[in-house]
Amino acid sequence: MTIPDDSFREAFKPLHIPAHYNLHDPEQERVLFALAQLGKGSATEVANKMAALESKSADENFKVIANKILTALYRQGLLKGNDSSGTMQYNLSKITNANDGSVNPDLLAPGLD
């Protein structure tokens, strides 16, 4: 099965992480903001962070929303995750350590310099 280029680009575009948490943003943006604030976390931890950002107590609704969105993004390949003791831990794959290596230009293939 092939999909048109425009459909592919829309389905697999990079995630947008909002700069601020806004109650009126779509659920996905609120979930991603909470995950970004945590760095990594389970759907329950993301739900708890969302509840804290909204000054509410975490309820089942937050957990359902976070789990649904994080699972869908993970299956789509837009989020990283690993199973830790039966609980999926999600992360945004942000680079947190600067590259401290160097490149030897003499070892580059011709035409790459």
Q: What is the mean pLDDT of residues 53-76?
A: 92
pLDDT score at 88:
94
Tokens for 21, please give them: 């948490």
For residues 53 and 74, what is the distance between their CA atoms, to the nearest angstrom?
23
Helix/strand/coil for 109: coil
- Per cent of the chain over pLDDT 90 is 50
Strand order in the sheet with 87-91: 40-41, 87-91, 80-84
CATH-assigned architecture of domain 24-91: Orthogonal Bundle (1.10)
The average pLDDT across 33-59 equals 93
* Cα 36 from Cα 50, distance rounded (Å): 11
**For the packed helices 43-53 and 60-75, what is the interaxial angle rounded to 10 degrees?**
130
Q: Is the pTM of this model over 0.95?
A: no
Q: Answer whether residue 77 shows pLDDT above 60.
A: yes
The pLDDT tens digits of the residues spanning 79-108 come to 999 998 889 999 988 655 666 677 777 777
In this structure, the strands spanning 40-41 and 87-91 are: antiparallel
The residue written with tokens 């009126």 in the block is 24
